[in-house]
Amino acid sequence: MLIRIPKGWEIPEREATPESAYYNRRQILAAAGLGLLGESLGAATGPYPAKHNDEFKVDIATTPEFAATGYNNYYEFHPTDKEAVKNNVGAFVTSPWAVEVSGLCNKPGKFEVEDLIKKFPLEERVYRFRCVERWAMVVPWTGFLLKDWIKAVDPKAEAKFVAFTTANKPKEMPGIKMAPWYPWPYTEGLRMDEAMNPLTMVVTGLYGKPLPRQNGAPIRIITPWKYGYKSIKSIVKLELVKSQPPTLWNKVQPEEYGFYSNINPKQPHPRWSQAVEQLIPTMERRPTLLYNGYEKYVAGLYNGKEH
Ligand code: MTE
């Protein structure tokens, strides 16, 4: 896979500024010990930036915002060009937006995103994120725990998996027409214990702001110990089911994309060794970590047979 690294002079000022403004504001608030003022500013500007959770520190620098929001895999908007995705999201309407929760639960329903972000406590976590194509990043996601949402719908004991579905709107998502051979809509799934894991986030924000459309607005999933394709974007449906649900990539190439897809440097993808990762935008190489460094949270879920 070839990756074009943007030169410094190619980064428009409008993209470079917000992140530095964000960090400056945080630093100033922290330095001045004005935590309370910070909270009240937050209330005036909506839920972003949300309270930062310090438990999830990463020992490498946060990826610049322009890279995380300018180099995207989102096939519904462009099936091959990651840098074109952000230019193709203009017609995509993300508000209002409701997610239907159905299947094996006692309290199914339709949840408006604007209600979800009021109902569940939002927090910011900096996580590593790793695509199966080997590129990686470290970004601050804002969201809530999927566990809390699942508990709120009162799952039945027979619910063993959660199936997710992305919006399927060809008029707003030009990539769907460009690549009609994919079995749209994009679908993904997690086993119930993975969905309930305290790492699994329902994400609505990035870099202290609402989630950009190219990153999955208004609502997506993040599972940082799994390859990025498990982190499904712009979800409209969440279904609690009994058996392992089909997923788009598993349907297309089952030998390349297993259901579990846990990050593992020793398990090569048929087309890519997974021993190293490359951080965007510099493409600095680093060794891949088992479960992307999140072993202490997830190792107990597996017996080594899940792929
Ligand atoms: N979700 C949908 N609906 N469509 C996609 O094409 N791509 C996946 C995942 N979620 C994808 C998706 C892949 S391959 C990756 S690596 C991540 O989104 C990329 O997320 P990012 O653009 O926020 O970095």
- Closest residue CA from atom 4 of ligand 1: 74
Q: Can you give the pLDDT at residue 271?
A: 87
Residue 63 CB less than 6 A away from ligand 1: no
Q: Which CATH number fits domain 43-301: 3.90.1150.10, 3.30.930.10, 3.90.420.10, 3.40.50.300?
A: 3.90.420.10
Residues in the chain with pLDDT values less than 70:
1-45
Q: Which atom of ligand 1 has the smallest separation from the CA of 234? A: 3
34 C-alpha to ligand 1 centroid (Å): 37
Residue 223 CB less than 6 A away from ligand 1: no
Q: Which atom of ligand 1 has the smallest separation from the CA of 75? A: 6
* DSSP symbols for the chain: ---PPPPGGGS-HHHHHHHHHHHHHHHHHHHHT-HHHHHHHHHHTTT-SPEE-TT---SSPPPPHHHHTTS--BTTTBSS-TTTGGGG-TT---SS-EEEEEESBSS-EEEEHHHHHHHS--EEEEEEEE-TTSEEEEEEEEEEEHHHHHHHT-B-TT--EEEEEE---TTT-HHHHH-TTS-SSPEEEEEHHHHTSTT-EEEEEETTEEPPGGGTTT-EEE-TTB-GGGS--SEEEEEEESSPPP-HHHHH-TTTS-SS-B--TTS--SSS--SEEEETTTTEEEEPPGGGG-HHHHGGG--S---
Q: Can you give the pLDDT at residue 26?
A: 45
Q: Can you give the pLDDT at residue 43?
A: 46
Q: Can you give the pLDDT at residue 132?
A: 95
pLDDT per residue as tens digits for the range 55-110: 999 999 999 999 999 999 999 999 999 999 999 999 999 999 999 999 999 999 99
Residue 19 CB less than 6 A away from ligand 1: no
Q: Can you give the pLDDT at residue 157?
A: 98
